[in-house]
Structure 1
């Protein structure tokens, strides 16, 4: 194939039509081999890594040997149904049993946890439909309508506690309403072409969409009737996005369809460059279109890749200061597994490295301070120990997938209790002498919102409105009782701690609190906070061409602090200006901040996390000098205390609901970690939150969400105004910490040569291009799930109805792609799901389809239904294809 740029993509086939080679314009060749029956037996990638497939006499795949020689094995029953999976570490991670009709009846994980499936019979009218799933801690019952659609799901926690959620459809089969476990109902209306038109929330707030004759979204009105408007070219590429107050983003494209330029409302231009394989290899920033014409570059970032299309480096420079940083990502000798990362800050370099087990689990982490931490896992591949220089942190046992007891080096013990839905009901920490250090007890409403939190220092209680926004918080000393009201868009109107009403413009930008006013630039960044009550607290904020905060000035326009970043939003440095100016450098791993260094490159502090944990969430330890302190975090993963190995409290703090924190007297160490993913800056009072800054005093972000409207139509509020149950670890989208509830399959599980529309665990499977069926897949056991049992997901529904790419960001993190925001807000046609082009790594189309479906439906199926909407997975591929 010759693309529009004249670049050649070549495929060769054998006489039977089987794909033999696939060559891109850079001459990267992937090869395929088959046996005499035409069954694929090997894949050879562009650097000659070989993956081999073995089959039994009945054509069932029984082993997959990866390029390292590690083998995953599959066993089958006499009906050719998969019965056992043994991973490359020789762990039996799954066994499956079937009933006489060949349906899955029991699924057992590596720790012996059993999930059972009950099916309806012909007499009940539910023949072959799952009527009940019995999980290790609770059960779930299903009711269907006469078209076999689930209309009620009942969670049975015990003999007396049943939680019901309902779904209704109209006569045409469109979604009519959803009613959650607290009987809050969201209603839906479709136009004549079956497109979502109106969504009415539980308090009768209306979100309305309008489309052109090609199904492109052209108007989106929020619950205050503020209109976001979009235009498109003849091939449905977004040309403009206009905010309610008229500020416009505009886009242009190359002849082959890649995004060429993005111009923001300030007139700043971002230009992209691609290589022959369509990978983005550079992005350049200009103050204006005139500067673009004259090539007056403000900032330039280049990217590089290995032969397997994995990003392996970047170089970031500015016209004013030259080199900002150079990043190098290293891989193992086969180029497959990320072995580490290093960043050159100009005068020094910091690096870390990973090692892996045969099954791909992280085996060790060596940080920039040279300290190596080892990990071990239980038979279900859940974390068992973190081996530190001072001793082992041991997870003694789990309740299903949730850790229930952890022993720290030195003998302190953290115990965690859960209800049937694996929601934390108690956290208790005892020192080596068995005295309580921390004890938190939680109570929930039926929707999963926390109602009460009783602690050793006092009791908290919370109330919510019908959209689950926090309306009151009763706190112990030193915090007063909190009380809030909101407008229909979720903006705070009143706060019992302040007098008067808060005011906003049509872009949901905070204009004023009594005595305090705010100014914004055209891009929606807060540029000034004017405090008439306390003029010394007036601040000016300065941003770079990527809308990242780079300077903060005081009331006299004197510098308070400066900041620098890498291309991915990670803050590299901050310098506080004053009598004792201090510059601190930051370094990150996959899990979040792992080191703070001085200007000489000496590591002053290092941080540790569980391997593969959510970014910046639930830290495990802080190392300063030769001392290691252990974090004791709350249900969200927010630090509450730091303990020494001997069980003494070195740091302790309390916070109100929105994160305004008071550190207890006489701490022996400083801790700046706050809400998950946040770092407290004492010089400004702000919390750095990866992609933007959070201001706990107003409970809002300084800048609009870089992800656009994907997570919330209100792009400034924090975690849907429910910070007790939600957090936003990257500043892009709210999360809810809960452990996975539901059947799951190990990554890459191969069920057998299944036919399309076969079922596994009651979920439809699909065929990959090579004829190998894959099963539904949940997250790694014990890791927080993207589909936890949490409060209402109306915020997902609202945006998903009109954009149809809810979990793009999670895919982003899974594949560690260079983080660009062009998909939703910049150029992706809203009624398709795209792969966030431009990017520095392309996800194979079929893998992207597979992962997208798993995230939005929990099943592998060609036609996915999400809240009643059918999604064509054929749309889910890189746009350049």
Structure 2
């Protein structure tokens, strides 16, 4: 009989369950079970631990697992595997290091006409030439706030995929996000933290040694260098830039998302998000202005923005297809943009509201070309082609065939920086630029043509030095917050001077001390906006801010200008100190539609849905109309009488021909680099040119080498050929000579100071000019040496605001200038050397700054006779005057004044007069008049630059008239000294009034020999000794024909009008194309025949910005107080100088509104860039940052828009 042990039996029955449990637990510890994974993952997520979070291990270990799950979920190996696993933020796309993308809203150096330039990796429409990705930036909506504006900028980039291999979807669908959707995420290899911008740029942050909650950027070249990220609490991160600005991120749905941008004054842009999905719900400005977002859920569960509205109730709307791709955008004006995609969800076409396909992309396929753009076609059927050389998965060379068929070749280093830029590759005219970089990617060396530049940086990455192969160009110092402390130009260190800046604890500018010790002082409100600006003479300018807007500016004379804005911060009205108010109306796309002046006159503008100006109507109903081609370039301009001029363009976007209203054709040809080769003038299409200009280029210097002005003939021989050869200084690279062949002028040469690079002198035929300058590089002494005689010395002194204070003439006369606190000229006194007053002038102004009084012993004003029968036609042309009938040709040029007949040349310049006067005129190819004959008397003219050098009457060299003006680089021919022939007894020293009118010629004994008096509009009376001096009213030439020569046009003082249209149209600040200085000749002049100017430069306005501040557009104040056009200082053009990067060009996306600079105050002081800048054709002001502009990779322009908007544009050539 068998006996069973009950205990053993019970143990045996239990063993399988024990083993099962043991093996189950063991499997959890060794290889996590699927169900355990789900359980642990849910617990980790509940604790706020995500694989993308560098704090993931800490948060996962602290999770509440409950029950036995803690044995498994708390295991370090399980946590490590989870935290190193795939994250929702893991993406696959080409690397785009900081600095490789165009700035949001900027053109970089790329436009739709170029393949890019310099070391920019952006080209074509645009494409990242290192990665091959297509980029599109769209500014959909903006709201101004003086403490921090809002700008809804949408960004598309191709070639980005999520961790599952699907095209990456952002807030606006596949490939599209926007600038407020910046995130923080761990890199795919979990070795570093990354700031990821909408453009695809990734800025790396590495863990700080000894800390698990701090990460540093020590490798990138731009504004994030030496920024740090700090963990805040369990779900927050704060990124602090070296200048003290912060960006705050909050973990939402497993991603650290941007929720706040704040400066050191506490001004914050706040991004409110859905707590579950992270979708943006609102973006608010520091003063509470909102962009309101509505989102829908896409097919992948991604929130997609469907509508955004602003405080004006403007809306923009977005529609998507079933694959989460944006297919339609409706702008605030109702214009519909459409987007086309290929079967791999890559953006192929963008169609504008007019139905034009602005770009059509073709992408490559296969291993090395996948997702790279290989060709583009634009709306005008012009094309770009792209060829990539790929080694080990990285592009080492890209060749772009641009719209003209030329090739730009880029060679890259392993990080994607341009080492060599070649254009046009493979041709004799090729230009090569090379670049070297430091470990962070900052440019340290650059070669271009004959220049070799080097750059030095401090430990914070600020550029502290720039030099070429001949010496130092600029030096700077910065504080720990990267604020500019000192700046010295070339030559300043030798003089021991610099410009000094001081700030308060929040980084707001407090003082600026110039090189002479003159100090400007600012106070600021709690938001960092200027409250007062006190200039070096204690003149006080006060600013009043109401909420988000500047509401008034009070100048040092206690005159207040008031501003009105709408709910979006757009300027809608300006009221001057006299109560005169000017209004404007804007449409939903921020375009001006109506301007109502203080007298009730209304100017009207119409626009198409593509943002092109269709018509402009002045208060009298005079209308000009425009049409455009598919790419937005002007096609026709129709004048108020219905006559049109037409334009054609070549495939590169350059003008090819202009057919004027008379049917005359001007055609243009270019070389493979886009440089001008020849301009031909024809009387009608197909005819032989009646005149041609040819251009030659020095390829080694990449500068104009020479020109040829000739008349082609059928047999190929050239008549009346004039060659001009240009020579350049090897040290400065500046022009030293322009030699005409044949010439009667002889050779002249500029000389430059080797230390400062300033103009030091001019050598001419038997004459020399020498310049001395002060620490601010202003001319303080000029010495004229004529015929080896003793130098004639003129001395110049300035007040602490840089305004002319005193001029001492070589004959001993002293001119003293007085100014009021608002920099209005109040008096000029001329004294003889013994102190006795020779004569004086005094001026007074009303509260709006308009000159209302002129007095003094030299103020002799003649009054004109009244005319009662003036008549005008629908084009503002004077058709009847003083009993005479006037007529015009189709180009708007005066054809007859009832007595004389006028003929015009192919440049629309006056060629001849017949009738009561017989005269003929000729010009060189630069538009300068070189010959005139009036009633049989000839006067030949020679020039140095834009300044008269001498004139020869009737071919008599012994009677040549030598003209000496103080400033060769600017000023309206401010004649100071005149010599006739070689007779010193006929030397004359010129006295001028505030409008640059010549009022007297004095001799060597300080005696007034010849006097001039004028009617307000210029009718001239000469008394005293007869003199051949032609420069009289506003310093311009009286031809003895009843007309004055104003360079680009001729002016008739009898009718107070120009006799031809303004070449720059409404950009002159006037709607009447024939009017003179807006009807204010007692205060303004128009020395170039283009626009008003202050005859005597006034220097910087108090506070550096005068009354043009805080969202005040230049043209708007012009309607109230009259324009105040000012030329930029000479050093503004220097790309490496104090106003670096100098003047922008078309390659930068800049378009000048006229044939010359419009140097205007920054409309948004304190928002970035210098206090002054270049106004472009759209009214924006390009304010150079100077050498302290390192926040965007180096000196650039802060493009300031009236109303508070601003953007950054880096220069084309870096």
Question: Secondary structure, in 3 states, of the residue corresponding to 1:416?
Answer: strand
Distance 2:1130 2:633 in 1: 21
Q: Are the equivalent residues in 2 in contact too, given 1:632–1:641 (CA < 8 A)?
A: yes
Distance 2:1126 2:1210 in 1: 14
1:618 and 2:974 are equivalent in the alignment: yes
Alignment counterpart, residue 552 of structure 1, candidates 896, 913, 916: 913
Distance 1:426 1:797 in 2: 24
Which residue of the partner structure matches residue 131 of structure 1? 531
Distance 2:1103 2:978 in 1: 33
Alpha-carbon deviation of 1:443?
Answer: 1.0
TM-score by length of 1: 0.79
Which residue of the partner structure matches residue 150 of structure 1? 550
Q: Are the equivalent residues in 2 in contact too, given 1:251–1:262 (CA < 8 A)?
A: yes
Question: Secondary structure, in 3 states, of the residue corresponding to 1:330?
Answer: strand
Which residue of the partner structure matches residue 477 of structure 2? 75
Alpha-carbon deviation of 1:834?
Answer: 2.8
Q: Are the equivalent residues in 2 in contact too, given 1:348–1:601 (CA < 8 A)?
A: no
Which residue of the partner structure matches residue 177 of structure 2? none
- For these two proteins, the number of residue pairs brought into alignment is 747
Which residue of the partner structure matches residue 1067 of structure 2? 710
Distance 2:850 2:1153 in 1: 33
1:371 and 2:767 are equivalent in the alignment: yes
Alpha-carbon deviation of 1:643?
Answer: 1.7
Distance 1:266 1:554 in 2: 23
Which residue of the partner structure matches residue 597 of structure 1? 952
Which residue of the partner structure matches residue 442 of structure 2? 39
1:413 and 2:774 are equivalent in the alignment: no
Output one character per residue of 1:357-399: Cα deviation in whole Å (capped at 9) or x when no partner: 22232110123x3311111111222221111233321124534
Alpha-carbon deviation of 1:95?
Answer: 1.1
Alignment counterpart, residue 318 of structure 1, candidates 702, 711, 720: 711
Distance 1:302 1:62 in 2: 43
1:217 and 2:613 are equivalent in the alignment: yes
Alignment counterpart, residue 97 of structure 1, candidates 479, 497, 502: 502
1:543 and 2:904 are equivalent in the alignment: yes
Which residue of the partner structure matches residue 469 of structure 1? none
Which residue of the partner structure matches residue 121 of structure 2? none
Distance 2:597 2:1212 in 1: 32
Which residue of the partner structure matches residue 608 of structure 1? 964
Alignment counterpart, residue 674 of structure 1, candidates 1032, 1038, 1042: 1032
Moved over 6 A (4+): 600-603, 785-788, 795-799, 805-816, 836-839, 871-878
Distance 1:870 1:371 in 2: 51
Which residue of the partner structure matches residue 456 of structure 1? 857
Alpha-carbon deviation of 1:675?
Answer: 3.4
Distance 1:413 1:673 in 2: 21
Which residue of the partner structure matches residue 50 of structure 1? 452
Distance 1:418 1:811 in 2: 20
Output one character per residue of 1:721-757: Cα deviation in whole Å (capped at 9) or x when no partner: 1111111111111112441334899xxxxxxxxxxxx
Which residue of the partner structure matches residue 756 of structure 1? none
Alpha-carbon deviation of 1:792?
Answer: 11
Alpha-carbon deviation of 1:210?
Answer: 0.9
Distance 1:79 1:857 in 2: 25
Which residue of the partner structure matches residue 8 of structure 1? 407
Alpha-carbon deviation of 1:603?
Answer: 7.5
1:572 and 2:927 are equivalent in the alignment: no
Q: Are the equivalent residues in 2 in contact too, given 1:327–1:341 (CA < 8 A)?
A: yes
Q: 1:867 to 1:571 in 2, by over 3 A?
A: same
Alpha-carbon deviation of 1:164?
Answer: 0.8
Alpha-carbon deviation of 1:812?
Answer: 13
Distance 2:1154 2:1014 in 1: 40
Q: 1:875 to 1:862 in 2, by over 3 A?
A: closer
Alpha-carbon deviation of 1:274?
Answer: 0.5
Alignment counterpart, residue 658 of structure 1, candidates 1017, 1031, 1034: 1017
Q: Are the equivalent residues in 1 in contact too, given 2:1014–2:1033 (CA < 8 A)?
A: no
Question: Secondary structure, in 3 states, of the residue corresponding to 1:664?
Answer: strand
Which residue of the partner structure matches residue 919 of structure 2? 561
Which residue of the partner structure matches residue 505 of structure 1? 873
Distance 1:442 1:338 in 2: 40
Which residue of the partner structure matches residue 631 of structure 1? 990
1:701 and 2:1106 are equivalent in the alignment: no
Which residue of the partner structure matches residue 193 of structure 2? none
Output one character per residue of 1:587-646: Cα deviation in whole Å (capped at 9) or x when no partner: 222352121135476771111222355343322211222423221111122211122232
Question: Secondary structure, in 3 states, of the residue corresponding to 2:1066?
Answer: coil
By relative contact order (CA 8 Å, sep 6+), the higher-ranking structure is 1
Q: Are the equivalent residues in 2 in contact too, given 1:595–1:606 (CA < 8 A)?
A: yes
TM-score by length of 2: 0.58
Which residue of the partner structure matches residue 834 of structure 1? 1151
Which residue of the partner structure matches residue 153 of structure 2? none
Distance 1:565 1:730 in 2: 15
Distance 2:794 2:1126 in 1: 34
Which residue of the partner structure matches residue 294 of structure 2? none
Which residue of the partner structure matches residue 438 of structure 1? 839
Q: 1:313 to 1:183 in 2, by over 3 A?
A: farther
Alpha-carbon deviation of 1:97?
Answer: 1.6
Alpha-carbon deviation of 1:806?
Answer: 12
Distance 2:796 2:881 in 1: 47
- Structure 2: state its 5+ residue gaps: 1-399, 786-790, 1135-1145, 1157-1168, 1186-1195
Q: 1:662 to 1:851 in 2, by over 3 A?
A: closer
Distance 1:52 1:743 in 2: 36
Alpha-carbon deviation of 1:700?
Answer: 0.7
Which residue of the partner structure matches residue 332 of structure 1? 729
Alpha-carbon deviation of 1:504?
Answer: 0.6
Q: Are the equivalent residues in 2 in contact too, given 1:834–1:877 (CA < 8 A)?
A: no
Distance 2:1019 2:654 in 1: 44
Range 263-272 or range 560-569, more displaced: 560-569
Q: Are the equivalent residues in 2 in contact too, given 1:615–1:677 (CA < 8 A)?
A: no
Range 625-634 or range 508-517, more displaced: 625-634
Q: 1:372 to 1:502 in 2, by over 3 A?
A: same
Q: 1:222 to 1:833 in 2, by over 3 A?
A: farther
Distance 2:1206 2:664 in 1: 35
Q: 1:793 to 1:674 in 2, by over 3 A?
A: farther
Alpha-carbon deviation of 1:219?
Answer: 1.4
Distance 1:2 1:859 in 2: 32
Question: Secondary structure, in 3 states, of the residue corresponding to 1:709?
Answer: helix
Alpha-carbon deviation of 1:787?
Answer: 7.5
Alignment counterpart, residue 1087 of structure 2, candidates 700, 711, 729: 729
Q: Are the equivalent residues in 2 in contact too, given 1:740–1:787 (CA < 8 A)?
A: no
Which residue of the partner structure matches residue 197 of structure 2? none
Q: 1:187 to 1:131 in 2, by over 3 A?
A: same
Alignment counterpart, residue 461 of structure 2, candidates 48, 59, 63: 59
Distance 2:793 2:626 in 1: 55
Question: Secondary structure, in 3 states, of the residue corresponding to 1:167?
Answer: strand
Q: Are the equivalent residues in 1 in contact too, given 2:1153–2:1175 (CA < 8 A)?
A: no
Distance 2:1198 2:476 in 1: 28
Alpha-carbon deviation of 1:511?
Answer: 0.2
1:640 and 2:1003 are equivalent in the alignment: no
Question: Secondary structure, in 3 states, of the residue corresponding to 2:401?
Answer: coil
Alpha-carbon deviation of 1:201?
Answer: 0.7
Alpha-carbon deviation of 1:870?
Answer: 5.1
Distance 1:553 1:876 in 2: 51
Distance 2:690 2:1131 in 1: 28
Alpha-carbon deviation of 1:301?
Answer: 0.7
Output one character per residue of 1:189-247: Cα deviation in whole Å (capped at 9) or x when no partner: 12233321111111111111111111111111111112211111111111110011101
Which residue of the partner structure matches residue 943 of structure 2? 588
Distance 1:812 1:236 in 2: 34
Question: Secondary structure, in 3 states, of the residue corresponding to 1:189?
Answer: strand
Distance 1:653 1:851 in 2: 36
Q: Are the equivalent residues in 2 in contact too, given 1:415–1:428 (CA < 8 A)?
A: yes
